[in-house]
Structure 1
């Protein structure tokens, strides 16, 4: 007699996950989460635009190449809370996750990264909560970027609230590597992942070397 595997536990597990994600989605809608996030991103977008214009005027070149924004989805919130072994509830996520709102700033040169960071920290109405320099000390995977967790004050329903935002600042080369790593490995069970990860780390080191060379070349051109 052939016994077929019982998939009922898997199906029940999938249904429970969908229910918990849907619960987060409903809580988000009641909380006007997306509206508040758009408000915060709008405030920061103006600040970053002004910083970019100031640096362009100072150096007579475009410094900030690209700015992108994202809001964590219910699916992403659920997945991250589970990875942190926390109860997947939106009210808890708001206190435990600093990256519900994310902004990424991409520039050409490493010294631009640090100047943008300096100017962001000088903003009187923003509060620096945490800083992680993965350029000076890359992650084991080879990931490089500079992360700021900042508090942004916003007026919501006639009340001042501080929303936390993760701001990532990196060079174009670092961004290319990060996108590649995300597409190939992140959150995926890839066969031969260890070998691929080792190769990606080697490429990260080459990118760091290229960033240093391009900075030296730019300085030579500026000196002419």
Structure 2
């Protein structure tokens, strides 16, 4: 298989989604409003990971495009849990892609303690042979959830998916602590956002005063 040619549309999807989501964040900043988007990242699954997953799932290569939903992945990280659902509603209202499936691992977390909101979408990409519908995954989570998930991913890699029982128990407790942090921060959300608005106004004023771009 020519992997570079196969993955090219997935690379395009990731780049286009990143541009659009970062554009939304910039619009909030221009209007001096709280942006539900803290930052956006994206990646295309490495070929080695794709091959490993096909083997572990006993998946034939001709089924990859339909059955492997996370070849193209974009992650949206927020400050608050409420922001996650705000982004979900925003994405649900868009007409530049269709939503295939939604998985709310915040209301019902995984046994490991993992929390995040997943959207599986079909995104149209213009190719030399015409439009191609690419399946991609959008993950939406808070900073605390992202910190936990990043560390869990590293441990899964280290232990080849077989994390020791005692480490699993600690991870579970850490996940509960991370969600407790999100709950506590939600209680002072208005205070935090007001502080951020004040900081933004001061920064804009200082740039104007210096004669630099605002």
Q: Same fold (TM over 0.5)?
A: yes
Inter-CA distance 80–39: structure 2 relative to 1 (3 Å threshold) = same
Q: 2:91 aligns to what SS in structure 1? A: helix
1:159 aligned residue (130, 134, 148)? 130
The CA deviation at 1:187 is 6.5
Matches within 5 A, 1:4-153: 26-29=1-4, 32-56=5-29, 60-87=33-60, 89=61, 91-153=62-124
- TM (norm. structure 2) is 0.82
The CA deviation at 1:211 is 0.1
Q: 2:17 aligns to what SS in structure 1? A: helix
Q: Deviations over 1:173-204 (max 9, x none)?
A: 00000011111234724887111111101110
Report 1 or 2 for greater relative contact order, CA contacts < 8 Å, sequence distance ≥ 6. Answer: 2
Whole-angstrom CA distance in 1 between matches of 2:6 and 2:69: 14
Q: Deviations over 1:7-44 (max 9, x none)?
A: xxxxxxxxxxxxxxxxxxx4323xx1232122212221
The CA deviation at 1:222 is 5.8
Whole-angstrom CA distance in 2 between matches of 1:59 and 1:143: 33
Inter-CA distance 138–58: structure 2 relative to 1 (3 Å threshold) = farther
Report the equivalent of 1:207: 178
Structure 1: 5+ residue runs without aligned partners? 1-25
1:70/1:102 contact within 8 Å kept: yes
Q: 2:173 aligns to what SS in structure 1? A: helix
Report the equivalent of 2:142: 171
Please, what is the CA RMSD of the aligned residues? 2.3
Whole-angstrom CA distance in 2 between matches of 1:199 and 1:156: 47
Question: Whose radius of gyration is greater, 1 or 2?
Answer: 1
